[in-house]
Amino acid sequence: MDWFKLSLQFNKFPVNRARKILDDIQKIPEEDYQNFVEKKKREIVEFHLRNNNFYKDFIGDRSIENWEDIPVMTKKDLQIPLNNRLSKGFNLKNTYIGKTSGSSGHPFTFAKDRLCHAMAWEGFNDHYNWHGIDLNKSLQARFYGIPLDFYGNLQERIKDRISLRRRFTIFDLSDAKLQSFLNRFKKSNFNYINGYTSAILLFAKFLQKKEIVLKNICPSLKLCIVTSERLFDKDKEIIEKAIGVTVINEYGASEVGLIAFENQKREWCLNSKDLYIEIVDQNNKTLPVGQEGKVIITSLYNRAHPIIRYAIGDIGILDEKSTTKKPILKSLIGRTSDVAKLANGKVVPGLTFYYVTKTIIDDAGSTKEFVITQTDIDTFEIEYVRENDFEEEEIAKIADAVEKYVGKNLNVNFKRKHMLNRTKSGKLKQFTSLVD
Partners of 431 in the beta sheet?
A: 372
- pLDDT-based confidence at residue 363 (cuts at 50, 70, 90): very low
Q: What is the average per-residue pLDDT within 166-174? A: 85
> What is the chain's mean pLDDT, rounded?
88
**Dihedral, CA atoms, 228, 234, 238, 244, nearest 10 degrees?**
80
Asked if residues 293 and 315 have their Cβ atoms less than 8 Å apart, the reply is: yes
**pLDDT tens string 180-215:** 999 999 999 999 999 988 889 989 999 999 999 999
Give the residue among 307, 296, 354 at the shortest CA–CA distance from 55: 307
**What pLDDT is stored for residue 1 in this prediction?**
58
Domain regions of the chain by residue span: 3-138+222-335, 339-433
- pLDDT-based confidence at residue 364 (cuts at 50, 70, 90): very low
- pLDDT-based confidence at residue 178 (cuts at 50, 70, 90): very high
More confident residue, 120 or 407: 120
Q: What is the average per-residue pLDDT within 81-91? A: 94
102: left (phi over 0), alpha (psi -120 to 50) or beta: left
Q: What is the average per-residue pLDDT within 61-78? A: 92
More confident residue, 372 or 119: 119
* Superfamily classification of domain 339-433: ANL, C-terminal domain (3.30.300.30)
Residue 393 has pLDDT above 70, yes or no: yes
Does this model's pTM top 0.85?
Answer: no
**What pLDDT is stored for residue 362 in this prediction?**
54
More confident residue, 228 or 84: 84
**pLDDT tens string 290-321:** 999 999 999 999 999 999 999 998 889 999 99
More confident residue, 273 or 347: 273
Q: β-strand 329-335 against 310-318: which pairing, if any?
A: antiparallel
Domain 3-138+222-335, CATH: 3.40.50.12780
Residue 373 has pLDDT above 60, yes or no: yes
Q: Say what percent of the chain tops pLDDT 70.
A: 91
**What pLDDT is stored for residue 360 in this prediction?**
61
Q: Which of 248-262, 326-340, 401-415 has the highest mean pLDDT?
A: 248-262
Asked if residues 215 and 243 have their Cβ atoms less than 8 Å apart, the reply is: yes
